[in-house]
C-alpha cells in the first residue's frame, strides 16, 4: 500500500526496460494473431475459395431422352453434385426441362430470376408463374411480366448416350446466374 511501485523515469526519447518488454509483448501477440489469422480466414472463406479452385459445377444426368416428350415442358429432379453429410433433402433440386424438338432442349432452373422462389409451369397458357411476387415467363424462359429483370436461368446441357445431362451444382441468383453463362441460346420458338 505504502510503497509506490518504482517506475523508471522515462522521457520522450529513452525507453524503459518494462516499456520495451510491453511493446515486445504486444508485437509478439500480434505475430501470434497473424499466424492464426491465416488458417482461420482460410477456413472461414473456404466456401468461396473451394468454388474457385475445384468448382462446384459438374455434369449431372437428368434421365433418358425418352422421359421428355417433344414439345413438352416437364419438371425433373436431380441430386446436387456437391453434397455434405448433413444436407438431408436440400440437395435434391428441381428443374424444368423443355424439349423443343429432337436434341434441342432448354433446361430452366426452378428459381425465379427475381428472388429465387420456385416457378411453376402452366402448359395451358404456356407460362411459368412465380407464387411470390408474380413474375411470369414464356415457354422459352424469356421474361413475360412482373418484377424479374431477365428470363429464367438456364443450365447448359448435352446429350450423352441418349441421356440428357446438365452442368449444375450451384444456386443461380440474379447476381451470379452461373448456369446461364455458357448456355447456348436456342432459337426463339
Partner 1 sequence: MRVITKIGEWFDHRLQLAAPIREAAEHPVPRNTASWFYVFGSAALTVFLLQLVTGILLALIYVPSGGEAWSSLQALNHGVTIGWFIRAMHGWGSNFMVAIVLIHMAQVFLFGAHKYPRELTWIIGVFLLLMTLGMAFTGQVMRFDQDAYWGLGIGASIASRVPIVGPAVVKLMLGGPIIAGATLSRFFALHVFVIPGMLIAFVGLHVLMVLKLGINEWPMPGRTVKRATYEAQYHALTKSEGAPFVPYAIWKDMFFAAFVVLAIAACAYYFGPFGPTGQPDPTIIQTAPKPDYFFLWLYALLSLLPPSLETPFLLIGPPLVIVGLILLPFLSGEGEKSWKRRPIAVVTVLMIAITLGTFTRLAQFTPWSPRMSAWSGDPVPDQYIHGTTALERQGALVFQVKQCRNCHSLGNIGGQRGPALDSVAVRLTQDQLIRQVIQGGGNMPAYGNNLSPAETTALVAFLETLHPATQSPARDAARDLVLSESKPKSATQP
Q: Give the binding site for partner 1 (CB under 8 A).
A: 45, 47-48, 51, 56, 75, 77, 80, 82-94, 110-111, 114-120, 122, 124-127, 129-134, 136, 138-139, 144-149, 169-171, 173-176, 178
Look at residue 2 and give its three-state secondary structure: coil
Residue 28 C-beta: closest distance to partner 1, Å: 27
Q: Are the CB atoms for 138 and 108 separated by under 8 Å?
A: no
Cα–Cα separations (whole angstroms), residue 44 to 48, 97, 173: 9, 36, 22
Closer residue to partner 1 in complex, CB, 1/6: 1
Q: Are the CB atoms for 137 and 111 separated by under 8 Å?
A: no
Closer residue to partner 1 in complex, CB, 35/87: 87
Residue 8 C-beta: closest distance to partner 1, Å: 32
φ, ψ of residue 38 in degrees (nearest 5)? -65, -55
- Cell output for 156: 447448359
Closer residue to partner 1 in complex, CB, 80/165: 80
Closer residue to partner 1 in complex, CB, 65/115: 115
Amino acid at each position: 500500500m505504502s510503497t509506490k511501485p518504482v517506475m523508471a523515469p522515462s522521457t520522450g526519447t529513452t525507453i524503459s526496460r518494462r516499456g520495451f518488454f510491453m511493446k515486445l509483448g504486444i508485437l509478439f501477440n500480434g505475430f501470434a494473431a497473424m499466424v492464426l489469422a491465416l488458417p482461420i480466414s482460410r477456413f472461414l472463406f473456404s466456401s468461396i475459395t473451394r468454388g474457385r479452385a475445384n468448382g462446384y459445377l459438374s455434369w449431372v444426368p437428368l434421365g433418358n431422352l425418352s422421359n421428355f416428350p417433344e414439345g413438352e415442358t416437364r419438371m425433373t429432379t436431380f441430386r446436387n453434385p456437391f453434397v455434405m453429410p448433413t444436407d438431408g433433402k436440400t440437395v435434391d433440386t428441381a428443374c424444368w426441362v423443355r424439349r423443343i424438338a429432337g436434341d434441342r432442349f432448354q433446361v430452366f432452373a426452378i428459381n425465379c430470376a427475381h428472388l429465387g422462389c420456385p416457378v411453376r409451369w402452366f402448359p395451358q397458357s404456356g407460362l411459368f408463374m412465380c407464387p411470390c411476387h408474380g413474375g411470369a415467363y414464356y415457354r422459352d424462359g424469356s421474361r413475360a411480366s412482373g418484377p424479374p429483370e431477365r428470363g429464367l436461368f438456364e443450365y447448359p446441357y448435352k446429350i450423352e448416350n441418349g441421356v440428357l445431362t446438365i452442368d449444375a451444382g450451384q444456386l443461380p441468383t440474379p447476381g451470379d446466374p452461373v448456369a446461364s453463362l455458357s448456355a447456348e441460346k436456342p432459337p426463339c420458338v
